[in-house]
Amino acid sequence: MGPFFSTFGVKYGIDYTLQSFLEAVTNDAPYEVYPSPTWSDDKWHLDQEERTFIEQENYLVIHEGDAEGKLVGGNLSTLHLLQGTEFMPSLKDCILFIEEDNEAHIHSFDRVLQSLLQLPDAASITGILIGRFQKDSNVTEAAIKRVIATKSELKNIPVIANVNFGHVQPIATIPMGVNAAVSGSGTTTTITINA
């Protein structure tokens, strides 16, 4: 999971995306997915010169803790469509990473996440990473926290939101099926991809 090919045509704010992509595809050593200093949700493809970047210091730690597991995930609605098919990946002992686009709203996020958590293997999910929502979705940090608070299945595992993947920029490359370790405490997070 990473940048679309057109993303490499971004004029400003490409450094983080490019560095993460290169680490994922050319490096066999562990690397970290750290918060970018800024993020953007503007329509860069319409105007490369008028960009708006928002400062970011940390990811959002919803549940503190440490976890290790295989990275499994992607777009939450797409995973929902795969349920019951041979193409649905196993959630056994995984760190689940999920994201949604601007068509999602907090109620659909809540329902689809709950549906996913009913799968038999979901009981062994070790941690959750949630990609940053686009502004047009109107999904706020407070709303995400409220949804996660209703999920008893997640109460004892780390949950970290606003991670640099999904439909905003810059984008980290998250390799599917690779082992990773996550840790969250206060405003401090560590996401290590053990390539």
| pLDDT, tens digit (0-9, with 9 covering 90-100), for 107-147 | 999 999 999 999 999 999 999 999 999 888 888 999 999 99
- The structural domains of the chain, ordered by start, are 5-193 (3.50.30.60)
CA dihedral (62, 178, 106, 44) positive or negative: positive
Retrieve residue 157's tokens.
């595992």
The burial class, CB within 10 Å (0-12 / 13-18 / 19+), for 167 is buried
Closest by CA position to 194, among listed 19, 16, 68: 68
42-74 pLDDT per residue, tens: 888 788 888 889 999 899 999 999 999 999 999
CA atoms within 13 A on the CB side of 84: 3
Residues with Cβ < 8 Å from 150, sequence gap 6 or more?
A: 110
- Strand-pair partners of 185: 188
Helices first, then strands: H and E counts in the chain:
4, 10
**pTM for this entry:** 0.94
- Residue 140 has phi, psi (to 5 degrees) of -95, 165
- Confidence at residue 49, expressed as pLDDT on a 0 to 100 scale: 87
User: CA 111 to CA 107: how far, in whole Å?
Assistant: 6
Query: For residue 191, what are its two tokens?
Result: 């996401």
Whether the per-residue pLDDT at 6 is higher than 90: the answer is no
Q: In terms of Cα–Cα distance, which of 162, 169, 151 is closest to 10?
A: 169
